[in-house]
Amino acid sequence: MKIIETVGDMRAQVKVWKKEGYRVGLVPTMGYLHEGHQSLIKRACRENDKVVVSVFVNPTQFGPNEDLESYPRDLEHDAALCQQCGAAVIFHPTPAEMYPEGYCTFVDMDILTKELCGLSRPTHFRGVCTVVSKLFHIVQPDMAYFGEKDAQQLAVIKRMVSDLNMDVQIVGCPIVREADGLAKSSRNTYLSLEERKAALVLSKSIFAGKKMVESGEKSADKLVNLMKSIIEKEPLAKIDYVKVVDLMTMQQITVLDRPFLAAVAVYIGKTRLIDNFMVQEV
């Protein structure tokens, strides 16, 4: 497995692969890889001849007071994990390689990015759309893999690919959880022991919500209230949002009569965590 650091070298490698007729898969990440990322990489390796894992802590998707500087990084560990999964290349550019002096082009999106995480992180999806577009242009993947853990991001990327006629197939992969239910996340490393226990309210609210829907509940308000009441029992938890939205448009709904996403964002101490469940068929 190679680690490639420049856009030029990455393009040259892809050119060789395309000449051979290889099918190329891309897994965009910010590194500090865990079993959640691993499930995406393994699936990409099953479905493609060559897999690129990008490891790039993308500055444009962080707000001014967010954790860009402290975001955990460990390329050595990431390389071992990617190699073990069967990836061909880690693409690991510097911020200056991706955003050289004078950089001023961005990909922005309306509607879908204005709800949920877009409300508390108003420039986040502009950064995500921009970096993912750049990665698609550099790597020219046939397939690209994203986790349902970041469900709004997945919806936004699918919309962008459709709206901008990008020639890549987007694959959504299920949330991978710790044994006790907490969704795996690189940000879980920020949690103290006490906070780690408190963080379980996210998955508890998700599991209870799912059960309520499975038992036939059709009111989005009742679903939100149940999930909120579980999170509010935990003193260390502060709700950013608990919402139910249309799966395609990310706009809030009141009746559970179409495919939807139930999503939560909660501060545990200073750490902001997200979780969700989707219902594709109603």
Q: Is the CB of 188 or the CB of 256 nearer to ligand AMP?
A: 188
Rg (CA), the chain: 19
**Contact status: 43 vs ligand AMP (CB under 6 A):** no
Contacts of 109 by beta carbon, 8 Å cutoff, 6+ apart:
125, 126, 129, 156, 159, 160, 163
Please, where are the H alpha helices in the chain? 7-19, 35-47, 75-85, 95-98, 117-120, 124-139, 151-163, 193-198, 200-214, 220-232
- Pick the catalytic residue from 37, 77, 92, 124: 37
Q: How far is the CB of 171 from ligand AMP (least distance, A)?
A: 10
By CB under 6 A, the residues from 171 to 210 that bind ligand AMP are 173, 175-176, 183-186
Helical axes 75-85 vs 35-47, angle rounded to 10°: 40
Distances (CA, A) of 252 to 18, 38, 42, 235: 43, 32, 34, 27
Q: Rounded CA gap, 7 and 172, in Å?
A: 26
Q: Tell me, residue by residue from 23 to 42, as one string, x for binding to ligand AMP by CB under 6 A and - for no binding.
A: ------xx-----xx-xx--
By CB under 6 A, the residues from 139 to 158 that bind ligand AMP are 146-147, 149-150
Q: Is the CB of 97 or the CB of 178 nearer to ligand AMP?
A: 178
Nearest-CB residue to ligand AMP?
Answer: 147
Q: Is the CB of 17 or the CB of 62 nearer to ligand AMP?
A: 62
Q: Rounded CA gap, 141 and 30, in Å?
A: 18
Say whether 124 is catalytic. no
Q: How far is the CB of 64 from ligand AMP (least distance, A)?
A: 19
Q: How far is the CB of 99 from ligand AMP (least distance, A)?
A: 17
Q: Is the CB of 199 or the CB of 220 nearer to ligand AMP?
A: 199
Q: Is the CB of 134 or the CB of 149 nearer to ligand AMP?
A: 149
Read off φ and ψ for residue 227, nearest 5 degrees. Answer: -65, -40
Q: How far is the CB of 241 from ligand AMP (least distance, A)?
A: 18
**Which neighbouring-strand residues pair with 244?**
262
Residues in contact with ligand AMP by the rule CB under 6 A: 29-30, 36-37, 39-40, 146-147, 149-150, 173, 175-176, 183-186
Active site residues: 37
